[in-house]
Amino acid sequence: MNDGGPTPWDDTLYGFHLAHGLVRGRLIRLGSTLDDILGRHADPPAVQTLLAETAVLAAALAGGLKYEGVFTLQTSTDGPISTLMADVTSTGDIRAVARLDPERLDATLAAMDTADPDEPTPPDVFRLLGRGHVAFTVDQGPRTDRYQGITELVGTSLAQSVEHYFLQSEQLSTVVVTAVRRDPAAPEGTGWSGGCLLIQRMPPEAGGRNDAAANDAWETAGVLLRTLGADELLDPALTPDRIVHRLFHAEALVPGETRSLRFGCRCSREKVEAALSRFQRSELEAMKQEDGVVTATCQFCTAHYTFTDTDLDALASDGASPNGSDSA
């Protein structure tokens, strides 16, 4: 959906190591990918900003994993925005969606201490999300066990909840800096940019150490990272390698993996057919709309899949049980 040309290193994961392998890091930059994700939904600016942050965080977390499948970052809360979900495939496809209660959201934004309720960076994100948790899930297919980690939402940002999870659940010290914004001069549905720079202290089993030198290296890396501002992180004139070099050039910086990222949805007509085939023909009939067809819409990419009576008859026939009755 971004009609302009890509900025340098737009939609990229850039990995690196510091202090002779004692610290590892990843920098994520998303541009047109965010346009593709956010431009498909008419969400308010505050929701778009949180969803964009979820997408860049998911990409940063997925970039540290070795997996073949899908990594998902998802919040589940009791606030006006009940769900923020982004998933990233091992091939670099990203998609994201938010679920919200429009009336509760409008009331909450109106009550928040801000001069403009449409300000895309609300001062307290957890007034919008409410109480709940964030889940980290790796799904490598039906023949493997899913891995899932869960932590409560803490602090004042999603990034702080990520740091809390790694420290409490993985005993892995982590520092995360994120930034998201939209260029107000860009055409509607475009102009989004997002970035995330994450560093983690390596545990002894992964080449880390617990001595004074390693402690000093970690503390220095954290201090340097926290000097990174949003303008620098999102500057289209700065490539990720240049940003990392500016921050850590004196910390035995070693470049790592570079990977392209993009919007990608895994929905298909075949998957919708498989879902509908689980229903009896009478249940499919009840799903019809006024035009006499069943229409399924993907929550991520908003693609529409339409099924006529002929299609529904075929689904019911394909799903029939051996005794001739419809399959449930």
**Residue that has been written with the tokens 């006006």 in this structure:** 80
**Cβ-based neighbours of 181, under 8 Å, separated by 6 or more:** 49, 120, 121, 192, 193, 194, 230, 234
Q: In whole numbers, what is the pLDDT of the chain averaged over residues?
A: 89
Average the pLDDT over 88-95 and give the result.
Answer: 96
Residue 7 located in a structural domain: no
What is the per-residue pLDDT for 327?
A: 34
Q: Does the predicted TM-score (pTM) go above 0.85?
A: yes
pLDDT tens-digit readout, 236-258:
999 999 999 999 999 999 999 99
Confidence band of 144 (pLDDT split at 50, 70, 90):
confident
* Structure-derived torsion over alpha carbons of residues 165, 167, 168, 170, reported in degrees to the nearest 10: 80
Please give the tally of structural domains in the chain: 2
Query: What is d(CA 94, CA 84) in angstroms, rounded to the nearest whole number?
Result: 14
Closest to 197 in 3D by CA, of 217, 221, 218: 221
Strands 12-18, 254-260: pairing kind: antiparallel
Residues 48 and 174 in one domain: yes
Query: What's the CATH number where 292 sits?
Result: 3.90.1280.10
Query: What is d(CA 126, CA 129) in angstroms, rounded to the nearest whole number?
Result: 5
Residues 196 and 312 in one domain: no
Residues 258 and 282 in one domain: no
Residues 173 and 310 in one domain: no
Angle subtended at Cα 254 by Cα 248 and Cα 260, rounded to the nearest 5 degrees: 95
Residues 233 and 273 in one domain: no
Q: Could you tell me the residue range of the domain that residue 279 belongs to? A: 269-318
Residues 16 and 157 in one domain: yes
Residues 210 and 239 in one domain: yes
Closest to 128 in 3D by CA, of 200, 51, 215: 51
Residue 326 located in a structural domain: no
Residue 1 located in a structural domain: no
Residues 189 and 55 in one domain: yes
What is the per-residue pLDDT for 308?
A: 92
Least confident of 62-66, 164-168, 260-264, 324-328: 324-328
Confidence check: pLDDT of 90 > 70 = yes
- Among 227, 243, 263, the domain-final residue is 263
Closest to 230 in 3D by CA, of 261, 194, 199: 194
Residues 203 and 292 in one domain: no
**Residue that has been written with the tokens 């593709």 in this structure:** 36
Residue 5 located in a structural domain: no
Residue 112 near residue 123, CB atoms below 8 Å = yes
- Among 221, 237, 263, the domain-final residue is 263
What is the per-residue pLDDT for 114?
A: 52
Confidence check: pLDDT of 72 > 50 = yes
Query: What's the CATH number where 103 sits?
Result: 3.55.30.10
Residue 134 located in a structural domain: yes
pLDDT tens-digit readout, 296-325:
999 999 999 999 999 988 887 665 443 333
Residue 16 located in a structural domain: yes
What is the per-residue pLDDT for 259?
A: 93
Confidence check: pLDDT of 218 > 60 = yes
- Among 263, 283, 304, the domain-final residue is 263
What is the per-residue pLDDT for 115?
A: 42
What is the per-residue pLDDT for 321?
A: 42
Residues 72 and 208 in one domain: yes
Residues 258 and 277 in one domain: no
